[in-house]
Amino acid sequence: MFIGFDYGTANCSVAIMENGAPKLLPLENSSHYIPSTICAPTRESVSEYLFRFMDTKPKDVLGEQVLRRAINLNREEDIELQRGDVQFGQQALDTYLLDPQDVYYVKSPKSFLGASGLHETQLVFFEDLVCSMMKNIKTQAENTTQAEIEQAVIGRPINFHGRGGEDANRQAEGILRHAATRAGFKNIEFQFEPVAAGLEYESTLTANQTVLAVDIGGGTTDCSLIDMGPDWQNQTDRTQSLLGHSGQRVGGNDLDIYLAFKQIMPLFGLGSQMNGSQVLSSSKSRGVDMPITQFWNPIAINNVVAQKDFYEVANLKALKLLQKEAQEPEKLARLLAVYQHTLGYQIVRKAEETKIELSDSDKHSLIMPVASEMLKMDIDLQQMIEAVDTPTQKMMDLVTEVMAQASKKPDVIFMTGGSARSPFLRQALEAQLPNVPIVSGNYFGSVTAGLARWAQTVFG
């Protein structure tokens, strides 16, 4: 049996073909979408749990070494894993939110897969993370279908990482392939996510069109210009129909991070000053600005290095020194609470909730507990648009890039991906390509459905 598998940055989903149409399968309770999150007692628990409770062996000698080290570290900490100790999706998020300091939590591991400078044991661990998530999803899908699923078309972005080029893409795709193989898939193909979304739109066409598929996902924005329609349907070789591609690791997560940075982090001291070296300005003395990285790193949840730099033990001393020198020490006390209680994910989640609310209203009242405080602030639509201007422009630059590769303009723009629901992104796209109609289907499910259609073409 085959599936289309969207291993997404924000959510994962799978679909089968039933009676000639894609059918998404429930993966968490009755939901067809499971958040791309994992929660465990410790970092090392993931590798041990995968082996002990998910019946998945290491790939090679290095994997065995990582597993043995994980088991030994857990024993030193008197951690005896039980079934259910590693959680996925919304359940993982709920557990993390109950006590962020007491668990190991990862959101969107797909964001890390193309990162440069990773050593071998990091690559093995990321593979274990992905494999455990894939194994959980495969098991849920097989429970629904009551059939063994051995074949999968897995979606992938045009580019996994902003830097690294094809080396980064090969690394990331290799991790996904190895993880999927260890999870039990025997035949694996990959398809570009915007192409998959386009394939789902193509199923509705009765005449040929040139389609610009724009997929704004959680971690990446990808564009493909494709000739589509009845003449191309069911062809296994679509090379001549693919007119251009562009993609970058900029997506909904970046919108959330920039919104958190510009609008929320001032509550934690961003933009405030220290009582350090005094300089003269307009006949008045002022302090030294706080270092920006201390406010960016905790919320840069898609950057392994930034997270490590902020939460490492040595940074605690630096944060305490900043509070001591701060003109507004109460704000730096909140930043210390972020460090001590691992609140970076919670801050970004509040920004995400704000972004979603501002899709339908002009103002949102944000409420967030931090230590013994209850922080409150209002954010309006214009403030959000200004805060996310940098990632928005990067997305629009990708449209310019893909159009420069082709000799024709699109007849229609097919817009998909969770972040594509934001009206301000649609307006930005309309300004980029005026007079080209924009259509959309299932914002979350178009890629998955297209992957299932392609799976039928290559495996059916």
pLDDT range class, residue 335, cuts 50, 70, 90: very high
Residue at token pair 């069911």: 234
What are 104-143's pLDDT values in tens digits? 999 889 988 998 888 999 999 999 999 999 999 999 999 9
Query: Which tokens in the block code for residue 204?
Result: 């509705």
State the Cα–Cα distance between residues 421 and 277, nearest whole angstrom: 47
Q: Which residues contact 160 (CB under 8 A, 6 or more apart)?
A: 110, 113, 114, 168, 169, 171, 172, 173, 220, 249
What is the predicted pLDDT for the residue at 406? 87
Q: Which residues contact 283 (CB under 8 A, 6 or more apart)?
A: none
> Would you give the DSSP letter of residue 65?
H
State the Cα–Cα distance between residues 451 and 153, nearest whole angstrom: 6
> Do the Cβ atoms of 449 and 200 come closer than 8 Å?
yes
Q: How many CB atoms lie within 10 A of CB 91?
A: 16
Over range 180-206, report the average pLDDT. 96
Which class for 327: exposed (0-12), middle (13-18), buried (19 or more C-beta within 10 A)?
A: middle
Per-residue pLDDT at 280 exceeds 80: no
3-state secondary structure of 433: coil
3-state secondary structure of 33: coil
SS3 content of the chain, % helix, strand, coil (to 5): 50, 25, 30
Per-residue pLDDT at 272 exceeds 80: yes
What are 284-322's pLDDT values in tens digits? 445 688 999 999 999 999 888 899 999 999 999 999 999
0.85 cut: is pTM over it?
Answer: yes
Query: Which tokens in the block code for residue 387?
Result: 């805060």
Minimum mean pLDDT range among 66-70, 115-119, 223-227, 296-300: 115-119
Q: Name the CATH superfamily, with its identifier, for domain 2-185.
A: ATPase, nucleotide binding domain (3.30.420.40)
What are 396-414's pLDDT values in tens digits? 999 999 999 988 999 999 9
What are 77-113's pLDDT values in tens digits? 999 999 999 999 999 999 998 888 789 999 889 988 9
pLDDT range class, residue 161, cuts 50, 70, 90: confident
What is the predicted pLDDT for the residue at 163? 66
Q: Which of the listed ranges 56-60, 384-388, 442-446 does the model predict with the highest average pLDDT?
A: 384-388
- Short-list 254, 352, 350, 248, CA closest to 302: 254
Half-sphere exposure of 239 (CA within 13 A, CB side): 1
- Short-list 141, 121, 4, CA closest to 66: 121
What is the predicted pLDDT for the residue at 284? 43
Angle at 276 between CA 273 and CA 279, to 5 degrees: 85
pLDDT range class, residue 12, cuts 50, 70, 90: very high
Angle at 70 between CA 69 and CA 75, to 5 degrees: 100
Q: Which residues contact 117 (CB under 8 A, 6 or more apart)?
A: 305
Query: Which tokens in the block code for residue 227?
Result: 């000739």
> Would you give the DSSP letter of residue 326?
B
Topology alike, domains 2-185 and 208-251+389-441: yes
> Would you give the DSSP letter of residue 26?
P
Percent of the chain clearing pLDDT 90 (strictly above): 86
pLDDT range class, residue 443, cuts 50, 70, 90: confident
What is the 3 state secondary structure string of 231-300?
CCCCCCCCHHHEEEEEEECCCHHHHHHHHHHHHHHHHHCCCCEEEEEEEEECCEEEEEECCCHHHHHHHC
Query: Which tokens in the block code for residue 435?
Result: 């007079």
3-state secondary structure of 96: helix
Over range 442-457, report the average pLDDT. 95
3-state secondary structure of 352: helix
What is the predicted pLDDT for the residue at 289? 85
Per-residue pLDDT at 73 exceeds 60: yes
- Short-list 167, 170, 168, 137, CA closest to 152: 137
Query: Which tokens in the block code for residue 26?
Result: 């429930």
- Short-list 110, 131, 141, CA closest to 184: 131
| Identity of the residue numbered 215 | D
Buried-state track 402-441, b at ≥16 Cβ within 10 A, e below 16:
bbeebeeebbbbbbbbbbbbbebbbebbeebbeeeebebb
Angle at 248 between CA 13 and CA 397, to 5 degrees: 125
Over range 251-276, report the average pLDDT. 94
Per-residue pLDDT at 283 exceeds 80: no
What is the predicted pLDDT for the residue at 234? 83
State the Cα–Cα distance between residues 432 and 402, nearest whole angstrom: 12
Q: Choose which CATH entry (3.30.420.40, 3.30.565.10, 1.10.10.60, 3.10.620.30) describes domain 208-251+389-441.
A: 3.30.420.40
Residue spans of the domains in the chain: they are: 2-185, 208-251+389-441, 253-387
State the Cα–Cα distance between residues 438 and 414, nearest whole angstrom: 6
